[in-house]
Structure 1
Amino acid sequence: MTDNQSEKISSIQSRIREFTRIKGIDVKTFERNSGLSNGFVSKIGDSIREASFKKILASYPTLNKNWVITGVGSIENESTNIETDTSKKTNRVPFYDGDVTASIVGSFSDIKEDPSFWVDFKPFNDCDALFRVYGDSMYPKYGSGEIVAVKQVFNIESILWGEAYLIISNSEYDNLRTIKTVHPYDKDESKIILRASNPNFKGDTIVKKNAIIGMFLVKGKTRIDHY
């Protein structure tokens, strides 16, 4: 892009959007990679706080800060070139230290609070979030205080039977939010069985598939004992 083309971009927000377009990523990915809250770019006015700029430049060091603020100059620093190879991008995943599942309507983008920090761990980089497990219904598979990484599943027919999922239901099942292993319900294919791993939590929960508004595969777990 030439300097003349850059000058036609009239605001900080639109310049950020132009940068993401050239990088080949959407705004949501830009926000996530930069450690910014969901919807941050849409709220940008005539300025950006220095702390937020530091987060952006840590993830996108080629971005020309002066161009973002003033529209003058090139999009990137003169000594670098914008990398458009998406295979080289860092995909960081938000970690929430509190119990955030109650805030989810259908996906983790519903959460208003900022993540405690962001995780760059390749096996989990395609996940939507990491958060702590509360309660013992899934012990010993997932103990209270352990951290799970979850990835949203959009096709309920692709369920991996016997695996653990975070299930979010509608009001028909009292807005259920729970991690359970999922099993087929042989009597009715339109329903599934949710089952605890802990033998002290007896009894299956049978849920209609069409009552599930969010479903996330638990890809793995980790634990933090000390910060």
Structure 2
Amino acid sequence: MTEKEKLKAYLQYKGISKNRFYTETGFSVGFLDSGRSLGADKVRIIINKFPDLSLEWLIMDEGEMIIEPRPEGVAYDMRPNISHLEEPESPYYVPTRIYTPAAGAADPTRRIPLYDFEAAAGLAPVFDGRTAPTGYLAIPELPRCDGAVKMRGDSMYPLLKAGDIVIYKQVHDCTNIIWGEMYLVSFSYDDEEYTTVKYLNRIEEKPDFARLVSYNAHHAPIEIPLTAIRALAIVKASVRFNTMG
């Protein structure tokens, strides 16, 4: 079976209608009936929304369709199985076991993967699904997000400081930029690659450019062509640790 055929088999087994699936995931009507594969971004959303669906079965055709509930008092090995990432054609991260939280724990649909974008050499390897998360955040009532990274530098200080975690939603097209909002952006500038958090402002006289503005007044704004942007995500939330332990 194709990935979408297996997904439809899961929905039928669980008694979940297509309309409910589209409502839960936010996917467009007809998604289940077009094409064969799901794509890394869609898989991440599906597994977060339906945590008892086995990712190994869905993508790699291994194991059973349904993940068994976690027995009381039993801890599973949550270390990621990343051996498959050596194969460049595989864009998926496959955990050894999906964790089913105990009653009263944070909503599992809000488990946000945390990435080390410096170790991944930029945002693009993170966004295309070839980098395994270093951990997860569980935050209830959080808007739909794709991931989180740790802040570097002081360009947004004191609003954000080094070590803060920024939680983002990937933007696939620069035409969807909401001007004036805060973004995580990777771009080329003067033959160098940069990754930073900035406000993106429109330049009326240069519609094909964006002005990157810091919160810290010591950092001057810079203007870049939209074509220089390599990866882009809107910042939806941030987390700050105020103690060391």
Please point out which of 199, 206, 209 is paired with 1:191: 209
Please point out which of 160, 180, 189 is paired with 2:178: 160
Q: Equivalents in 2 of 1:35, 1:200: separation in Å?
A: 49
Residue in structure 2 matched with residue 82 of structure 1 by the alignment:
none
Residue in structure 1 matched with residue 46 of structure 2 by the alignment:
30
TM-score (norm 2): 0.58
State the Cα distance separating 1:165 from its structure 2 match. 0.5
Please point out which of 210, 223, 227 is paired with 2:240: 223
State the Cα distance separating 1:200 from its structure 2 match. 2.4
Distance 1:54 1:165, change over 3 A: closer
State the Cα distance separating 1:220 from its structure 2 match. 2.2
Aligned-residue Cα RMSD (Å) equals 4.1
Structure 2 gap segments, 5+ residues each: 26-41, 69-75, 77-94, 102-106
Structure with the bigger RCO (C-alpha within 8 Å, sep 6+) is: 1
State the Cα distance separating 1:173 from its structure 2 match. 5.7
Structure 1 gap segments, 5+ residues each: 1-8, 60-88
- Runs of 4 or more, structure 1, over 4 Å off, are 13-17, 20-23, 35-40, 46-54, 170-173
Amino acid at match of 1:189: P
What SS does the corresponding residue of 1:197 show, helix, strand or coil? Answer: coil
Q: Is the CA contact 2:153–2:161 (under 8 Å) kept in the aligned structure 1?
A: yes
Residue in structure 1 matched with residue 9 of structure 2 by the alignment:
18
Q: Is the CA contact 2:111–2:139 (under 8 Å) kept in the aligned structure 1?
A: yes
Q: Equivalents in 1 of 2:54, 2:210: separation in Å?
A: 34
Distance 1:109 1:157, change over 3 A: closer
Distance 1:32 1:111, change over 3 A: farther
Distance 1:226 1:176, change over 3 A: same
Q: Is the CA contact 1:139–1:197 (under 8 Å) kept in the aligned structure 2?
A: yes
Q: Is the CA contact 2:48–2:108 (under 8 Å) kept in the aligned structure 1?
A: no
Q: Is the CA contact 1:172–1:211 (under 8 Å) kept in the aligned structure 2?
A: no
Distance 1:171 1:188, change over 3 A: closer
Please point out which of 77, 98, 103 is paired with 1:55: 98
Please point out which of 106, 124, 127 is paired with 1:105: 124
Sequence identity (%): 20
Q: Equivalents in 1 of 2:133, 2:53: separation in Å?
A: 8
State the Cα distance separating 1:189 from its structure 2 match. 1.0
Q: Equivalents in 2 of 1:106, 1:171: separation in Å?
A: 19
Please point out which of 36, 59, 71 is paired with 1:42: 59
Distance 1:138 1:53, change over 3 A: closer
Q: Which has the larger radius of gyration?
A: 1
State the Cα distance separating 1:139 from its structure 2 match. 0.5
Q: Equivalents in 1 of 2:240, 2:54: separation in Å?
A: 24
Q: Which string of whole-angstrom CA distances, capped at 9 and with x for unpartnered residues, describes residues 167-195 of structure 1?
A: 12368863432111111223311101112
Q: Which string of whole-angstrom CA distances, capped at 9 and with x for unpartnered residues, describes residues 111-170 of structure 1?
A: 421340242421x23111122211111111211111222122344334333321011236
Q: Equivalents in 1 of 2:53, 2:187: separation in Å?
A: 28
Larger helix share, 1 or 2: 1
State the Cα distance separating 1:207 from its structure 2 match. 1.3
Report how many residues are paired: 186
Q: Which moved more, 1:192-201 or 1:91-100?
A: 91-100
Q: Equivalents in 2 of 1:43, 1:187: separation in Å?
A: 50
Q: Which moved more, 1:100-109 or 1:192-201?
A: 100-109
Amino acid at match of 1:133: M
TM-score (norm 1): 0.62
